[in-house]
Amino acid sequence: MYITGLPDILVEPVVRDALREDLGLAGDVTADAVILPKARFRAEFNAREAGIVAGLDCARIAMNLMDPHVRFEIVKPDASEVVAGDVIARVEGNARAILAAERVALNLLSHLSGVATLTQTYVKALDGLPARIACTRKTLPGLRGLQKHAVKCGGGHNHRYGLDDAILIKDNHIAICGGVEKALELAKAAAGHTMKIEIEVDSIYQLKQALPFKPDVIMVDNFDLETLREAVSIAKGKTILEASGGVNLSTVRAIAETGIDVISVGALTHSAPVFDIGLDAV
């Protein structure tokens, strides 16, 4: 499976800010001190464990921002499965430029590959079941688009990107406006014809209150397995049911076996381990 990356115009500002932070006011004083200005360098990005690649555009852009003449060859595109020892990409060009971009390139590539790899682990845990794994808005500031791209590389699905692309009524909204029915009544009145509405419920009672309003999605939050099965028996086919809360690799399959449609997992983006990638001279 090949997942195309995000457009450069969206990725470049993130990479540019990261390089600016790393270079500071004086640039790479180490490389400037010990490497001749016209020295050349050739290296490979190598996987040091098995997993899924994501974020190669970040590495490419980091190199090319330091020197547009650096040659960057992608060997294993985003969404590729790799094992330890696989070459992910090759880079060749001015040595100072490549070394100045190295840490930013590896930080973003390793983090996003970690997100993709963790996502695939969750997806594989549901083998044979129809439930989808989705990410959340629990993302690192400034990296949401990249992290959500990485989730797709791992076989997961994206939840809403921000506060503006879907109505999601949560417990605090319900408490402030006076209940499930009032919240949905107001949301229905405010929503345009293309705007989807989701509501979070914390009990079967609230689920039954929500159903007559026909929300597009009902999120059942922190339900135990017995209550999840009851929710599915009541609402399956009437709306999309999303399970959230208490989801980890030891619980996710049992949750999916209740018949739930979507399982949202914040850990995909906020707790993914870094994927080990090295830049090695050749």
Q: Which residue among the candidates 28, 86, 200, 261 is catalytic per the annotation?
A: 200
Whether 200 is catalytic is yes
Beta pairing partners, 242: 219, 262
Closest to 199 in 3D by CA, of 184, 177, 179: 184
Q: Which residue among the candidates 28, 86, 198, 221 is catalytic per the annotation?
A: 221
Return the ∠ at Cα 230 (arms to 229 and 234), rounded to 5°: 115
Whether 103 is catalytic is yes
Closest to 248 in 3D by CA, of 125, 164, 75: 125
Q: Which residue among the candidates 76, 90, 137, 170 is catalytic per the annotation?
A: 170
3-class DSSP state of 166? coil
Q: Which residue among the candidates 76, 138, 196, 229 is catalytic per the annotation?
A: 138
**Stretch (H or E) spanning 121:** helix 95-125
Cα 88 to Cα 63, 80, 103, 235, 271: the distances in Å are 15, 9, 16, 45, 24
Whether 236 is catalytic is no
Q: Count CB-CB contacts under 10 A for residue 222.
A: 12
Q: Which residue among the candidates 103, 144, 160, 253 is catalytic per the annotation?
A: 103
Q: Is 272 exposed, middle or buried (0-12, 13-18, 19+ CB in 10 A)?
A: buried
Cα–Cα dist 63/91, whole Å: 8
Catalytic residues: 103, 138, 170, 200, 221
